Amino acid sequence: MEPWDEEIFQEEVVVDFLDELSDLEEDDIVQAVDDALVTTVKDPHVTADDLLVGQAAATITAIWSGAPYSAGDVVEEYPFIRSLTDQATDAMQQLAFTILEQVDTDSDLDSFLEALTGAEVLSDSTGDDA
């Protein structure tokens, strides 16, 4: 069984997305990842390619939130995957969790989901009652 990050990062449309991100400034990278997450979750007409990009964005968000990664070659080629840790907002983490929990794969997603839930992704379910 191939590690999830290696599986998703080898998809052709994802490689194109990573190439596009590598040409951006750090703030723009974070915004582009956020945009991909939002599109994947909120667009009722999301394409198969958009879904793959969203899954990659969710994986990047999980890595930024502390998930371990196996795709060392990819991270070396696209250092922002590792260097922008702690850049994921709570909203990004929630969207990423929603995307990754719906992925149909034989790969193990637990460490990615745990990184997102460990970042208190589900904090909104506790309510704001004081």
pLDDT digits over 66-109, tens only? 999 998 999 999 999 999 988 999 999 999 999 999 999 999 99
pLDDT in tens, 6-43: 999 999 999 999 999 999 999 999 999 999 999 999 99
> According to the model, what pLDDT value does residue 126 have?
40
Cβ burial, residue 27 (10 Å; 0-12/13-18/19+): exposed
Burial 43-62 (b: 16+ CB within 10 A, else e): eeeeeeebbbbbbbbbbbbb
CA distances (Å), origin 111, targets 31, 66, 115? 24, 9, 6
pLDDT at 129: 43
* Amino acid at residue number 124: D
